[in-house]
Amino acid sequence: MSPSRPLLEGRDLRRVYRLGRVEVPAVDGVTLAVEAGDFLVLEGPSGSGKTTLLNLLGLLDRPDGGTLLWEGRAVGDLDEDALSELRRDRLGFVFQTFNLVPVLSAAENVELPMALAGVAARARRERSLELLAAVGLADRAAVRPDLLSGGQRQRVAIARALANDARLLLADEPTGNLDSHSAEEVLDLLERLHEERGMGCVIATHDPRVRARASRVLHLIDGRLEAAA
């Protein structure tokens, strides 16, 4: 595979929500390419389509129009099983609200995707401890999320997103629920993982602290990309 091929390419992507007779063009003709070297910030006001676009790029939702290529493969031709496999093996997701399972420990949360992928118990425990160490939480492995700070929860969520050696990390407002100090810590972590692992990152946000770290900024307005200011 050519090293210069983008991880993913979207061409004229569209997603229209239908509310009765009203059509909301949430993503309205977006063309973009994401490379492994990207630390790409997707900014835009609330309602501009950031989450909808991330969901399309992350194969959580299918476009109503346009073409999405993952490492050169047209995603539209893939069935649900193939899509789940791609999501499982290539993608990591991080959300504003962390989305950890409250009754599981930090280590068990990190192990969850590996359990779903059929990794043996011992191997996934080893890997989860390694990942928690990588995000600076080696000593919190046995602790449940409600005993962790917001910043620590987001770091657990990031460790979970890395469980499969994701090639691309998609983060939706990852600092939205964090104080400044925790936000900076989480951003330091994302930046370091991006550099060390050569993992592409796409971060939707309206947090200026995130923008300051970007290798590239895309600005979304009413579902369309505009030149960044």
Residue 148 DSSP one-character state:
S
The least CB distance from residue 79 to Mg ion, in Å, is 28
- Residue closer to Mg ion by CB (options 134, 201) is 201
**Which amino acid does the sequence have at 227?**
A
Nearest to 34 by CA among 193, 203, 192, 173: 203
Among 46, 80, 102, 208, binds ligand ADP (CB under 6 A): 46
Distance CA 206, CA 46 (A): 8
The 3-state DSSP class for residue 4 equals coil
Torsion, Cα of 224, 63, 83, 170 (10° steps): 20
2 binds, among ligand ADP, Mg ion, none (CB under 5 to 8 A by kind): none
17 binds, among ligand ADP, Mg ion, none (CB under 5 to 8 A by kind): ligand ADP
> Under the criterion CB under 5 A, does residue 51 sit at the interface with Mg ion?
yes
Among 5, 11, 24, 29, binds ligand ADP (CB under 6 A): 24
19 binds, among Mg ion, ligand ADP, none (CB under 5 to 8 A by kind): ligand ADP
**Which residues contact residue 118 at a Cβ distance below 8 angstroms, ignoring those fewer than 6 apart?**
none
- Residue closer to ligand ADP by CB (options 49, 92) is 49
Among 37, 47, 136, 150, binds ligand ADP (CB under 6 A): 47
| φ and ψ of 64, to 5 deg | -85, -15
- Residue closer to ligand ADP by CB (options 26, 94) is 26
Distance CA 54, CA 71 (A): 17
Over the Cα atoms of the chain, what is R_g? 17
Stretch that binds Mg ion, among 19-27, 46-54, 135-143, 179-187 (CB under 5 A): 46-54
- Residue closer to ligand ADP by CB (options 18, 122) is 18
